[in-house]
Amino acid sequence: MSRYLLTPCNNTLSHIAKSLALRHALEARGHEVFLAVSARRTAFLDRIGEGRYVILPDIQEADAAPLPGFSWFRPERFEACVHAEVELLRTLRPDAVLGVFRFTGPVSAALAGVPYDSLICGAMTPACAEVLGFAKNEPGEQEQARALSFFRETCAQRLRPALTRLGLPAIEDIWQLLEGKRTFLWDTPEFQPLPEQPTYCHVGQVLWHNWPHHDVDLQKLDTLRGPIAYVAFGTGSVPAGWLPHLVEALWHIGCSVALGLGGQQAPDELPVDPARLAVFDFLPVEQVLPRAALVVCHGGQGLIFEALRQHTPVFVLPMQPEQAQNGVCLERIGCGHRLLRGVVFGGHATDIDAAFLARPTQQLADEIAAFLANGGLAERLDSAARHLSRYRGAEQLVSQLEKS
């Protein structure tokens, strides 16, 4: 039996959910597992009956944002979080640490002398040479490349004083901190191709199905008329104006809408029609996807892969570069379509909001309908589902951890 510490970044609940799935798989094999989360995420864990955790500060708490920003990498804040992790490591004395999208993880593990592995998506590794969110030669590609390079290099430079004080070498690219001794990838090479890396291992989607939905009224799905579009934007915030705009476009093509808010507040502007719109706090994908004709989401890989396993096409409305990249990957395999493209993510969320709202609902409806009518879609979705079935997610990752 080994002792493991799981340290997810707390910017989204999906990273914590992956850690919960891994804890369950590790404990099923007799291992001792600790889960460290930020204080503000404890209410969610208590709500779903997962009250076993330790509290650890996270650089993400600097702004509580869903995506990395410059404030995450202030040297003093970063160093304080590393010291807290080192103290925890020396207290728990784990045999190994697995970080999920955790920038401080490899630093604290190196200082404590504990083996460190990472779980991340392929697009946010130094090995990925693509410009996130842009197909090759797409307008805006070079501008986005400059913005991303500036962010990655500037954040790395910002951390040099902290790394020097900690006695560690400087880094050139902040993405280097998302690698471990072994870097496990929750996506697949068929979806996000990467150059071969000897320390990278594709394990595929790490699934967690115990989301809080004990009070979900699934009868609301039964009242919906026509084909159902499942709309969900994860557990982060979504621009208030997007949802009414999107619902109207989906109504244009004859779809009803099942909307999962992911714990967020429903906007006041949503139309009311129980036969065409059903709104849920958390909506279990295993209940809605078998009934859905299509999915519209922010581009999170968790929902994308679950949709593809159900042979369901995905339409992406991204709010950050990684999500936009997943839209590009979907288009590359012919299983989805970006409803917003060519937007350079330079840090101003209002630019993204305005870009989508500027798109007429009829134009959006026409794009969705045209993609669904595209020949060969069923065959491409079947191929994607077969590829995903080759990966075993948490089971495969745990087997790899046991080999260390």
CATH class label, 219-388: alpha beta
Taking residues 334-344, what's their average pLDDT? Answer: 95
- What is the spatial distance between Cα 300 and Cα 286, in angstroms, rounded to a whole number? 16
Percent helix, percent strand, percent coil in the chain, to nearest 5: 45, 15, 45
Taking residues 71-88, what's their average pLDDT? Answer: 97
pLDDT for 263 beyond 80:
no
**Dihedral sign for Cα atoms in the order 374, 312, 18, 394:** negative
Per-residue pLDDT reduced to its tens digit, 199-212:
999 999 999 988 77
8 A C-beta contact, residue 26 and residue 117:
no
pLDDT for 364 beyond 70:
yes
**Whether this model's pTM surpasses 0.85:** yes
Question: Which pLDDT score is estimated for 293?
Answer: 98
- What is the spatial distance between Cα 61 and Cα 65, in angstroms, rounded to a whole number? 8
CATH number listed for the domain at residues 3-209+390-401: 3.40.50.2000
Enumerate the CATH 3.40.50.2000 domain ranges in the chain, comma separated: 3-209+390-401, 219-388
Question: Which pLDDT score is estimated for 352?
Answer: 81
- What is the spatial distance between Cα 237 and Cα 241, in angstroms, rounded to a whole number? 12
Question: Which pLDDT score is estimated for 225?
Answer: 94
Q: How high does pLDDT run on average in the chain?
A: 94
pLDDT for 268 beyond 90:
no
* Amino acid identity, position 4: Y
pLDDT for 349 beyond 60:
no
pLDDT for 158 beyond 90:
yes
Per-residue pLDDT reduced to its tens digit, 41-54:
999 999 889 999 99
Listed in order, strand segments (DSSP E) in 290-388 are 292-297, 314-316, 336-338
Question: Which pLDDT score is estimated for 46?
Answer: 94
| Three-state SS at 144 | helix
- What is the spatial distance between Cα 71 and Cα 61, in angstroms, rounded to a whole number? 9
DSSP state of 267: P
Per-residue pLDDT reduced to its tens digit, 272-303:
899 999 999 888 888 899 999 999 999 999 99
Q: Retrieve residue 332's tokens.
A: 């590359």
When mean pLDDT is compared across 167-176, 207-216, 230-239, 381-390, the lowest value belongs to 207-216
Q: Which helix (H) or strand (E) holds 140?
A: none
Residues belonging to the chain: 404
Question: Which pLDDT score is estimated for 234?
Answer: 81
